[in-house]
């Protein structure tokens, strides 16, 4: 019997990934809903049905693979950000700053009025600022979306991620300072960690293109080199408690501006990238418990509704100033709905640093489950409404 249980545990994740892929393909063909909405739902149901089989510990191969998958997505997102465009049209960045900080303020106010402790409300507000790059980028690639709204969404997602990580890390630093009284530890969990992570990614973004130019034939070798360096970056950041989010984003951003080709056919990093993405979405919600989802459900619903309204209105308010029709601006704001995978992995990375916040943030569990299913659907509908998907073209 013990041998059977060991075998079952070893097979649980591969079978869950296979089940998620099959369910995603069939439901997508029948309903045209995004596949990733199905992946997360399958992962959550499997984890609730067999909690012992899907329990993961720090350093588990599943967690490592999920973080590598997220790193590949963040690299691709960073690679698609054009800083020159933001300099030419600063209103895009201004709209992102406005909607992010407005979201933070509104979510903090609602959570405080709900009776949530001040520090917990601050953490909720910082996480609500974020938009999941995994959810948005997967929908964009799946729908082959392109156009003004699509590019604005990708740039705003990158900005949301950076602002959310910065704010979250600073708040966690103060949390540690309040509980331990160690100012040195608080600083190490915020400013030093963030600067070191960004510098590490930027250095890789300069070195890898230089090596590829020396080797020649960038189109063939580039994708493999990028993937290998992302794996190394994720390993280094976890070993030294740095931020893999900022490191991989900075790597992609710097590599793009070193003029190394990364063609459309190489997006998602091929079949291996697709497989890791499915594992990422299955894993993300498997870490959540049903009890936390239920206890935080009502607050999560209110916060998600407020977040959606503020982000949509915040981006739409700057649509004319940033040179796009109000329809495109409204669609761009709506497309920022996903937030699930980013939040889960950020909390997991914080837990690896010795700060466990999952129980304090029960509302996050409910928000994650809701937006795992609804977020990609809203993004897909927004891009279709903006007439930038393949079908509309």
How does pLDDT run across 55-93, given as a tens digit for each residue?
777 667 888 888 899 999 999 888 888 888 888 889 999
Cα-only R_g, the chain: 20
Average pLDDT over residues 2-16: 69
User: Has residue 20 been placed in a domain?
Assistant: no
How far is the C-alpha of 365 from the C-alpha of 356, rounded, in Å?
A: 14
pTM: 0.88
C-beta neighbour count of 238 within 10 angstroms: 18
Residue 53 lies in a domain: no
CATH number at residue 349: 1.20.1530.20
Mean pLDDT over 192-221 rounds to: 81
How many domains is the chain built from? 1
CA dihedral 282, 283, 284, 289 (to 10 degrees): 100
Neighbours of 114 (CB within 10 A): 14
**Looking at residue 307, what is its pLDDT?**
94
Q: Is residue 15 part of a domain?
A: no
- Position 232 scores a pLDDT of 93
Question: Is 34 domain-assigned?
Answer: no
Contact predicate 37/376, CB 8 Å: yes
Report residue 115's pLDDT band, with 50, 70 and 90 as the boundaries. Answer: confident
- Is it the case that residue 176 has pLDDT exceeding 80? no
Residue 7 pLDDT more than 60?
Answer: no
Residue keyed to tokens 């030093």: 192
What is the residue range of 195's domain? 59-386
- Is the pLDDT at 127 greater than 50? The verdict is yes
> What would the pLDDT profile of 338-368 be if each residue is shown by its tens digit?
987 888 787 777 666 555 565 557 777 788 8
The rounded distance, in Å, linking the Cα atoms of 107 and 292 is: 19
Write the CB contacts of 10 (distance below 8 Å, at least 6 apart in sequence). none
Does any domain span residue 169? yes
The pLDDT assigned to 382 comes to 92
- Does a structural domain hold residue 33? no
3-state secondary structure 92-106: HHHHHHHHHHHHHHH
Q: Is residue 26 part of a domain?
A: no
Residue 1's pLDDT is 46
Residue 153 lies in a domain: yes
Q: Residue 155's closest CA among 324, 340, 374, 384? A: 324
Confidence at residue 9, expressed as pLDDT on a 0 to 100 scale:
63
């Amino acid at each position: 019997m013990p041998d059977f249980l060991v075998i079952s545990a070893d097979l649980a994740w591969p079978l869950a990934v296979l089940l998620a892929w099959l369910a995603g393909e069939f439901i997508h063909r029948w309903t045209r809903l995004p596949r990733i909405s199905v992946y997360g739902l399958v992962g959550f149901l499997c984890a609730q049905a067999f909690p012992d089989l899907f329990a993961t510990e720090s350093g588990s191969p599943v967690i490592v693979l999920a973080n590598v998958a997220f790193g590949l997505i963040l690299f691709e997102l960073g690679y698609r950000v054009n800083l020159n465009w933001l300099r030419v049209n600063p209103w895009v960045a201004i709209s992102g700053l406005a909607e992010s900080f407005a979201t933070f303020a509104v979510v903090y106010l609602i959570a405080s009025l709900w009776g949530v402790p001040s520090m917990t409300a601050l953490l909720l507000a910082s996480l609500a600022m974020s938009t999941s790059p995994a959810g948005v980028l997967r929908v964009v690639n799946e729908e082959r979306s392109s156009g003004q709204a699509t590019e604005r969404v990708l740039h705003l997602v990158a900005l949301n991620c950076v602002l959310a990580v910065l704010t979250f890390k600073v708040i966690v630093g103060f949390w540690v300072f309040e509980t331990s009284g160690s100012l040195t530890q608080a600083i190490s969990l915020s400013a030093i960690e963030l600067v070191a992570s960004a510098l590490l990614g930027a250095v890789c973004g300069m070195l890898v293109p230089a090596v590829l130019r020396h080797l020649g034939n960038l189109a063939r070798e580039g994708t493999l080199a990028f993937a290998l360096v992302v794996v190394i970056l994720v390993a280094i950041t976890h070993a030294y408690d740095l931020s893999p989010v900022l490191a991989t984003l900075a790597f992609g951003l710097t590599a793009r501006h070193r003029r190394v080709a990364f063609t459309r056919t190489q997006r998602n990093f091929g079949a291996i990238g697709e497989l890791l993405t499915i594992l990422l979405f299955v894993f993300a919600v498997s870490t959540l418990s049903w009890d936390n989802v239920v206890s935080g459900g009502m607050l999560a619903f209110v916060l998600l509704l407020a977040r959606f309204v503020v982000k949509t209105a915040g981006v739409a308010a700057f649509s004319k100033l940033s040179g796009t029709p109000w329809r495109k601006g409204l669609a761009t704001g709506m497309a920022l709905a996903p937030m699930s995978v980013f939040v889960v992995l950020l909390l997991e990375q914080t837990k690896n640093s010795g700060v466990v916040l999952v129980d304090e943030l029960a509302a996050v569990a409910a928000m994650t489950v809701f937006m795992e299913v609804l977020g990609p659907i809203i993004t897909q509908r927004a891009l279709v409404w903006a007439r930038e998907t393949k079908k509309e073209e």
